Structure 1
């Protein structure tokens, strides 16, 4: 007997199967999206791939950590602050920027006494 006092027919069982398949597809999509940042990081040889993978799985329900993991998967995390490099390396980077046509701004250097531009 069905819920309304009528026997369950062929279409009722077909509906149950369709709902179960739909639920399985939604769960598979959910799991695929949760693991996406980790798979991207591993494929791109990210230095923190395991952390990105864990953050993708753990942060999905709160959404914001998952978005951060997704962005982090594309960012290599190897940002170098040239203000803290040795002087020789800093000078080589400065020359390379000038060679490429850029204007070097060194806000952290004290202006020299004979420097026409004083900041």
Structure 2
């Protein structure tokens, strides 16, 4: 083996290492973004990012976009009123519980 062959092998190994490192970073990217943004489905996005990377990046962009979105809960008008009533009842029970604690 000549010196040029050894140099070529070293360059190829460095390039291979760089490609693997970039692949790992890109696979982790959607999950890291979702965790940083406190996304409720951060773990699912993390798994999807890895799955997308393993499958050759087919669905990886979908998980990347998902990491930047927040889910919106759509409620009907009646459901919204029920939720407000529940919040009022919880507040009343908490106030009642704190007044009992003060008496002991």
TM-score (structure 1 length as normaliser): 0.61
Q: How many residue pairs align between the two structures?
A: 81
Q: Using a 3 Å threshold, how does the CA distance of structure 1 residues 36 and 85 change in structure 2: closer, same or farther?
A: farther
The runs of 5 or more residues in structure 2 that have no matched partner are 83-104
Give the 5 Å matches for 1:1-119: 8-60=1-53, 61-77=55-71, 79-83=72-76, 85-86=78-79, 88=81
Deviating runs (4+, > 4 A) in structure 1?
none
Larger relative contact order, structure 1 or 2 (CA cutoff 8 Å, min sep 6) = 2
- Distance (whole Å) between structure 1 residues aligned to residue 58 and residue 6 of structure 2: 40
SS in 1 for 2:38: coil
CA-atom RMSD, angstroms? 1.9
Structure with higher Rg: it is: 1
**Structure 2 length normalisation: TM-score?**
0.68
Q: Distance in 2 between matches of 1:70 and 1:45?
A: 14
